Amino acid sequence: MASADARERIIVAAERLIAEHGPEVPLRDISTAAGQRNNSAVQYHFGSRDGLIDAVAEYRIADLEQHRLELLAASEATGEAQDIRALVSALVVPMLTIPYEHGATHYARFLDQVRTHPALAADTNLDRTGRAAVRLIIMRLDRALRDLPPALRRRRLRVLPTVLFALLADRERAVCAGDLPPDDPHSASELVDLITGMLTAPVSTAASP
């Protein structure tokens, strides 16, 4: 139990410090922030910096995926299973609520800092265990965007995480600074509108393959 508690404290500390200082923050600083006397605590529990980043990225996935599956089921019940805005909403809305209900304060900024790390950016990421909802959302978005040229559709879906993480991090910074209430009633709709607009924007002549 003590080992599991220590592991969780390190994950929470790493999420905050990486969000604030980037993925190269000294591991010793993370161990200290987590209340670990042993400077090698990160290596003991996670093996390496990459192992730690992977563990932090995984830490909230299960709760997010559960909420996404519930939203997907609701959209299927109302006949909106292939609706682009409903799919984007199922992807985005849990990220605005679930982590913070569980005490997170730096979740989005962490994602923005490590978005190019293999834990998030690898081509095989969607194939990992516990990604059923995200896989389904991306597959359905790919089908729903068939009016776009294939190469352009792939590019838009590929940059989706980059844009989403940046927007979520910007909102989180505003909340942290007191410029936006945590329960702002418009945030979710605005973010969903932005992402939906990016995916469905008309193709200009200059952007045509």
For residue 135, which of 157, 155, 150, 109 has the smallest C-alpha distance?
157
**Residue 205, pLDDT above cutoff 80:** no
Q: Which of 36, 25, 29, 42 is nearest to 2 (CA)?
A: 36
Q: Residue 104 in contact with residue 176, Cβ under 8 Å? A: no
pTM of the model: 0.92
Q: Supply angle C-alpha 118, 123, 127, rounded to 5.
A: 100
The residue ranges of every structural domain in the chain are 2-57, 60-200
Cα 209 to Cα 205: distance, rounded to the nearest angstrom:
9
Among the CATH numbers 1.10.10.60, 1.10.3470.10, 1.20.120.80, 1.20.1300.10, which is that of 2-57? Answer: 1.10.10.60
Question: Residue 128: its pLDDT value, please?
Answer: 81
Q: Is the pLDDT of residue 172 over 90?
A: yes
Two tokens, residue 74:
């609701």
Question: Using one digit for the tens of pLDDT, what is the confidence trace for 90-120?
Answer: 999 999 999 999 888 999 999 999 999 887 8
161-197 burial: b if 16+ Cβ within 10 Å, else e: beebbebbbebbbebeeeebeeeeeebbeebbeebbe
pLDDT at 177: 95
Mean pLDDT of all residues belonging to the chain: 93
Q: What is the pLDDT of residues 13-64, one digit of tens each?
A: 999 999 999 999 999 999 999 999 888 899 999 999 999 999 999 999 999 9
